[in-house]
């Protein structure tokens, strides 16, 4: 764990074969990161842009595009899981996440089936199955966690989604306790951050409203819900914390969300920027009244956060689907 006192972790939001075989192990050994995540967009960049997969692709000729995708993804996830296994055994996170087919986002049964199949195929206990926070996804999260499978609830933008995730995980925990399970599987709720600011800052700047804050305040609002729920196996994961452009410091969204019992999953360059300057980083004070007053002001200025959250969710799902389609088209 990057900061044991705060129980604050850094997870690397990047997976690629040559990285996993090299620098990844060094970052774990140096206590910089203690877990990693993947998604269709990350695999798209890796599988279509890196020469490290040429040999595997050649061996997989004759398979369907999705079979090829899964073979490549499972191989990378197994490699990451193996390197993180000691961290996991020590109770220091040690997870690697893999997302179900994004086209299953509205099908609970198919999501559960694929999640169970991927978890079994990978064969490591420190794998998290990523499930989008849709209506069907909430039921799938509960079912998977109830089966003892670690879950990463992804594409969470709103407090409403956060509450539904907590309800699903709370129900799963009850089922597990009734079964007599002593060690609960772990879950994270991935709150997306920077996409709010990229969407709203230009509009807010026109009315002289503070910029680069909506994502952070929204994340804090969701974080507070998770903390107050006191589910022992559920933590907040701040996602989408990379910075685009040079207006903000590269590690802005890590420093501004340096909160107790939380995780920040970020691109490698963002993590390195934070490590280089983290001595000046102090824990953030969470004030409920500040958060609520902030959003009253946002709404008073004509921003409907419910609409914004819904749009960001639709955009996030669409981006993952498009990345998935591009991978499959290239692998045909």
CA atoms of 185 and 175, how far apart (whole Å) = 12
Task: Specify whether the CB–CB gap between 141 and 131 falls below 8 A.
Answer: yes
Indicate the length of the chain as a whole number.
332
Other C-beta atoms lying within 10 Å of the C-beta of residue 283: 12
**Closest C-alpha to 177, from 145, 153, 155:** 145
**Closest C-alpha to 156, from 260, 247, 72, 265:** 265
Task: Specify whether the CB–CB gap between 35 and 87 falls below 8 A.
Answer: yes
Label residues 150-185 b or e (16+ Cβ within 10 Å = b): bbbbbbbbbbebbebbbebbbbbbeebeeeeeeebb
Q: Is 130 a catalytic residue?
A: yes
Q: What are phi and psi of 157, to 5 degrees?
A: -120, -25
**Closest C-alpha to 21, from 48, 49, 53:** 53
CA atoms of 223 and 207, how far apart (whole Å) = 28
Q: Name the catalytic one among 130, 174, 182, 279.
A: 130
Catalytic positions are: 130
């Amino acid at each position: 764990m990057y900061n044991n006192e705060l129980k604050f972790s850094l997870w690397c939001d990047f997976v690629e074969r040559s990285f996993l075989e090299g620098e990844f192990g060094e970052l774990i050994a140096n206590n910089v990161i203690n877990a990693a995540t993947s998604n269709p967009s990350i695999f798209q960049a890796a599988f279509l842009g890196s020469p490290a997969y040429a040999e595997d692709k050649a061996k997989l000729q004759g398979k369907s595009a999705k079979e090829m995708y899964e073979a490549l993804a499972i191989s990378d996830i197994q490699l990451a899981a193996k390197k993180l296994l000691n961290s996991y055994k020590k109770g220091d996170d040690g997870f690697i996440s893999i997302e179900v087919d994004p086209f299953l986002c509205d099908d609970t049964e198919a999501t559960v089936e694929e999640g169970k199949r991927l978890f079994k195929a990978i064969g490591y206990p420190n794998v998290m199955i990523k499930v989008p926070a849709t209506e069907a996804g909430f039921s799938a999260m509960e079912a998977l966690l109830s089966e003892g499978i670690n879950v990463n609830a992804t594409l969470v933008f709103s407090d409403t989604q956060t509450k539904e995730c907590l309800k699903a995980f709370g129900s799963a925990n009850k089922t597990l306790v009734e079964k007599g399970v002593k060690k609960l599987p772990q879950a994270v709720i991935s709150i997306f951050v920077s996409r709010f600011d990229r969407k709203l800052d230009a509009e807010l700047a026109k009315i002289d409203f503070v910029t680069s804050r909506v994502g952070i305040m929204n994340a804090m609002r969701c974080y507070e819900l998770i903390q107050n729920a006191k589910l022992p196996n559920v933590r907040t994961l701040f996602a989408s914390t990379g910075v685009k452009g040079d207006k903000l410091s590269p590690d802005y969204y890590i420093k501004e969300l340096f909160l107790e019992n939380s995780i920040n999953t970020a691109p490698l360059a963002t993590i390195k920027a934070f490590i280089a300057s983290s001595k000046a980083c102090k824990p953030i004070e969470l004030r409920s009244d500040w958060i609520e007053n902030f959003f009253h002001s946002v709404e008073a200025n004509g921003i409907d956060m419910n609409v914004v959250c819904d749009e960001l969710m639709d955009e996030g799902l669409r981006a993952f689907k498009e990345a998935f389609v591009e991978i499959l088209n290239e692998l045909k």
